[in-house]
Amino acid sequence: MTGVPGSGAPLLEAIDLQVHFPVGGGSLGRGRAFVRAVDGVSFTIERGQTLGLVGESGSGKSTIGLSLLGLVRPTGGRVRLDGEDVDFGRSSLQRLRARTTMVFQDPNASLNPRRSVAASVREPLEIHGLHRGSAARRARVEELLDLVGLSGRFAERYPHELSGGQRQRVGIARALACEPELIILDEPVSSLDVSVQSQIMNLLRRLQGELGLTYLFIAHDLAAVEYMSHRVLVMYLGRIVETATRESLYRSPRHPYTKALLSAIPSAEPGETSAARLLLEGDIPSPISPPSGCRFRTRCPWAIAACAETDPHLEAAGSDGEVACIRADEIAAGAPAALAGTSGA
């Protein structure tokens, strides 16, 4: 792995990242509306660690993953990889994509059905001109398949001949081909069967240890995020609402939305669900016209009038976390009443 060992700088830094998409709207571009999919998000990912990114559909979590690779162009803010600004120009992108790769949710859709496993895994080597010569490339492909637990006999097979788990292993082998430092894992296990999910998560953790990889793990399954991540970042409607170490986020969530997410996890055993389950009402609002003030206030059982006026900023909370909620301290000190909207389960 390249990089400056022991430099202490984060591998990746996103500063006030914005991704706004224009939608429909007025003639000649007047009165155009924007979906603010990612709206001023800052975070860092430390080398060799996993940052978990959770949120519901529409929270902007996948858009962040895509924008870090320039697959959608950020409309504002900065991305720094290893201390260097990424300008998303052609040559900068090429360098970026050798060091940062992605594993997608649906290995069915992300592998070319007409290419053999070997051809799919070889493609990034060809694009980046690595391991030149057919013998060297063949050896590298074999090594990569071995790394993800696929024997050489899979090399000449096609995606339709593989199970979901095997396909996802091919997706991971592809992502590893250029010896990246950072891998963006966008819901890498959510389309797989439970017993296969555990195989893939074990594999990802093992690879991280062996190769010193850094991960951005995007998922909506909170148990999987806890298992995989060192730090966790919770998003709601394009904004970060809370970030903390895994331990403190899961043990003492501070933002009402984080609390609701954690309490919505189905219990692993009957009768384990806490008596006071925090059940959210309604749906995530439209990102075209998010609520004023705190974006979560329309579903928050603790919302008060001030929440509609103040756009809460991330503020330090606990030893190593940040939370964007003007009532966080009050709630942490013992939930105030006014739990309208909470229902027992």
Q: How far is the CB of 158 from other proteins (least distance, A)?
A: 17
Q: Which of 87, 281, 309, 330 binds other proteins (CB under 8 A)?
A: 281
Whole-number Å distance between alpha carbons of 85 and 73 = 14
Q: How far is the CB of 281 from other proteins (least distance, A)?
A: 8
Q: Which is nearer to other proteins, 100 or 342 (CB)?
A: 342
Q: Which of 227, 235, 293, 321 binds other proteins (CB under 8 A)?
A: 227
Q: Which of 26, 129, 270, 334 binds other proteins (CB under 8 A)?
A: 270
Select from 40-48, 137-145, 191-199, 328-336 the region that touches other proteins (CB under 8 A). 191-199
What tokens were used for 73?
């162009």
Q: How far is the CB of 165 from other proteins (least distance, A)?
A: 8
205 contributes a contact to other proteins by CB under 8 A: yes
Whole-number Å distance between alpha carbons of 177 and 123 = 9
256 contact partners, CB below 8 Å, separation of at least 6 = 278, 296, 300, 301, 302, 325, 331
Cα dihedral 188→228→241→106 (10° resolution): 0
Q: Is 304 helix (H, G, I), strand (E, B) or coil?
A: coil
Cβ neighbours, 10 Å, residue 150: 21
Q: How far is the CB of 297 from other proteins (least distance, A)?
A: 16
Name the nearest CA neighbour of 111 among 180, 165, 167: 167
Site string for other proteins, 55-84 (x = CB under 8 A): -xx---------------------------
H or E segment at 226? Answer: helix 222-228
Q: Which is nearer to other proteins, 112 or 163 (CB)?
A: 163
First to last CA, the chain: 49
339 contributes a contact to other proteins by CB under 8 A: no
Q: Distances in Å between the alpha carbon of 24 and those of 18, 288, 291?
A: 19, 11, 20
For helices 134-147 and 117-127, angle between their N-to-C axes, nearest 10 degrees: 120
Name the amino acid, one letter, at 283: D
Q: Which of 126, 283, 309, 330 binds other proteins (CB under 8 A)?
A: 283
H or E segment at 127? Answer: helix 117-127
221 contributes a contact to other proteins by CB under 8 A: yes
Select from 111-119, 178-186, 263-271, 331-339 the region that touches other proteins (CB under 8 A). 263-271
Q: Which of 144, 222, 314, 326 binds other proteins (CB under 8 A)?
A: 222
Q: How far is the CB of 128 from other proteins (least distance, A)?
A: 32
Residues near other proteins, by CB under 8 A: 56-57, 163-165, 193-199, 201-202, 205, 220-224, 226-227, 246, 250, 260-261, 263-273, 277, 279-284, 343, 345
